[in-house]
Structure 1
Amino acid sequence: MKASDVKSMTQDELTTELAKLKKEQFNLRFQRATGQLENTSRFKEVRRDIARIKTIARQKASAAQG
């Protein structure tokens, strides 16, 4: 997911996408613990996507206030 894609999303879409990614991260954690995780790089991608969404959501919220 690119930052430009995230910037074009609305606040509701960001919230939905964040919830979806957190659920995926939870599932990946369980797969890693049980030894079923095949694509280990996906864990890093999901973590970075979560950070990217949180950052842009925060920027939008502060821009709306100020």
Structure 2
Amino acid sequence: MELEKIRNLSDSELRVEEQKAAEQLFRLRFQMKLGQNEGVKKLRELKKDIARIKTIARERELGLHGAAPKAESSAPAKPAKKKSTKKEAR
């Protein structure tokens, strides 16, 4: 599933798609244990799809998509002062 298609889904549709993909993944793993090794590529794609769906859902939960990362403080960061290493005259 493409990323833009996932982003266009609503929250409830995301949950449904995640459940469908998880069920397909379970069935595919079960088939592979029975000796049908034809689904290795599909297995990888399903894992990636589930990860994408979960990532988009988490971004929405945190309100991160489309927003710039916020700075921890509103004051500009000051550079650290270096210690002076002056040699004493004898």
Structure 2 length-normalised TM? 0.67
In structure 2, what is the equivalent of residue 9 of structure 1?
A: 9
Q: How many residues get paired? A: 64
Unaligned runs of 5+ in 1: none
Specify the structure having the higher radius of gyration (Cα): 2
Unaligned runs of 5+ in 2: 65-90
Letter in 2 for 1:19: Q
- Structure 1 moving runs of 4+ over 4 Å: none
What CA distance in whole angstroms lies between the structure 1 residues aligned with 2:17 and 2:27? 15
Aligned residue for 1:39, secondary structure, equals: helix
In structure 2, what is the equivalent of residue 30 of structure 1?
A: 30
Higher relative contact order (CA closer than 8 Å, sequence separation 6+):
1
Structure 1 length-normalised TM? 0.91
Is 1:46 equivalent to 2:51 in the alignment?
Answer: no
Letter in 2 for 1:15: R
Q: CA RMSD in A?
A: 1.3
Name whichever structure is richer in helix by fraction. Answer: 1
Aligned residue for 1:21, secondary structure, equals: helix
